[in-house]
Chain A
Amino acid sequence: MCKNIRIIPRLDIKGENLVKGIHLEGLRVLGKPEDFAYEYCAGGADELLYIDIVASLYGRNNLIDIVRRTAANIFIPLTVGGGIRSVDDIRMMLRAGADKVAINTAVVKRPEFISEAANAFGSQCIVLSIEAKRTGDGTYEAYTDNGRERTGLDIFKWALRGAELGAGEILITSIDNEGTGKGFDIDLIRKMSAIVDIPVISCGGAGKMGDFEDAVVSGSADAISAASVFHYHLVKTQSVPQKFNLKSNLDHLAKSLSSDGASFGAIETFSVKGLKSYLVGKGLPIRPVMSAHILIEPNAENIL
């Protein structure tokens, strides 16, 4: 009781676009992240997660500008990750409107960066991001760079170390399941939730509403993040501006199979609101979507 499971849409960003692929690869452009973010916020999302998959913190069309544009109109927590390497990077992100940062590569290289960041901004601001890949012998290895680089670290030991150093939350992404729609890796979620004392955000594999229920009931997830199921719903219902040829992108995704046969076709689509109604109906602790959460337009009459 009194612990409400958070539903967190995840937006992978490349350049100035929201993208999505399978196993963090084979990316397709879906639209502008800030358009999706606004819809999610109005639709009852509990938080948002932005991950810049090319870590272009200082590039053109950089993440800072996107975060700034997003944060001007949403009033739920926003976590931003991708390419954060220093205390100054974090400060810049917070200044642009992020509430928390998710860090992976930089803390794998230098774990004490977790402590430095937590001391400067508080643990609640620091999310340790771990990309997990199953190994042959039933353990999981931590990866960086969207599942491209091995670290040799056992994810559970690494998570414990990270929590000890001052991380406030763990974001665990299953590379094996990511983008496939075949469901969350329940074993992974359950073990991770049990082993650390800080909240765990589970990510990777959502394909239907029942998967979220499994993650909560069987996996004891504290929070769940998902991308495809929500993004494709907004695209299909044309709730976001259609600046790109989304239909051809979706057709491409529907046809494309990754090397292990995972397919976009396995993914059902639904809104955050629809998902929350489903979970509430199952008796799970969820913050309901209230009409009051529909955002007022800025500069409307209610301004002082």
Chain B
Amino acid sequence: MTHRIVIVDYGAGNLYSIERALDFIGVQAEVVSTPEKIAGAERIILPGVGAFKNGMRGLSERGLVGPLQEYVRSGRPLLGICLGMQLLMSESEEFGRYDGLNMVKGKVVRLDPALPGKERFKVPHVGWSRVIRRESSCAEMPDGWTEGVLKSLPNGFFAYFAHSFVVVPEDGSACIAQTKYGGATFCSCLQQNNLYGCQFHPERSGIEGLEIYRDFVRRN
């Protein structure tokens, strides 16, 4: 393994569990927070928890917005986790309206799981839920699941979620897997060209989650 894998540290939460997950599968990753390190990377993992606004501010303050956009334009792979995936979108409606990295057209909106009836679905959505394949509209075409970071996982595997917001890409085919929570069905795995995203936390989703990192660091 010769790819230079970096985890971007922009002050938004917990990247150490990702570092440990990579370590466990035998991959050395570098935690970076400078434009130069982004420019020189061959694989980028963009982690993140917390508020969208703070995440974008963390990236801007470190001068990382331009370098990340430039990196993605060059065609190299980037994997966003949780807030890290949400930041890839054009904009967010989290406590106001905020611009994102605008790499994937679409919005970040509040998760609304309310269902008529007795059972309550609380937000944040915290816990294990199934990740379900979104069938391709064109049956003979390989879909994102077969091609992407989920390819070694069974349809409907369980992953660990902790979030209050979800992504809605304009191009529905960018959503390769969905998850149901109460009355909501949301995009839990995103792929568009060299961009990958998980709303769940692969590093906290047991052995299946580790497979996602394994695939991401291997892919060409």
Chain A interface residues toward B at CB < 8 A: 1-4, 6, 41, 46, 71-73, 75-77, 94-97, 99, 119-125, 168-169, 197-199, 220, 222-223, 287, 290, 292-296, 298-299, 302-304
Contacts and interface: CB of A to CB of B under 8 A. Distances in A.
Given A199-B126, A287-B158, A293 B207 contact: yes
| Shortest 4 CB-CB contacts between residues of A and residues of B | A122-B50, A303-B26, A124-B162, A122-B49
A290 B130 CA distance: 13
B17 A122 contact: no
Interface stretch (B60-68, B104-112, B208-216): B208-216
Given A6-B128, A75-B206, 9 more contacts: A4-B128, A99-B162, A124-B162, A197-B122, A198-B124, A222-B127, A287-B128, A302-B25, A303-B25
Interface string B96-138: 0000000000000000000000011111101111100000000
Contacts of B182: 1-3
Nearest to B118: A220
Contacts, number: 128
A2 B121 CA distance: 9
Interface residues of B, number: 49
Contact of B206 (A3, A120, A293): A293
Contacts of A199: 122, 124, 126-127
A144 to B, nearest CB: 24
A97 B124 contact: no
Nearest to B16: A95
Contact of A77 (B158, B204, B207): B204
A97 B83 CA distance: 19
A287 B128 CA distance: 7
Contacts of B24: 72-73, 75, 298
Interface in B1-50: 1, 12-14, 16-17, 20-21, 23-27, 49-50
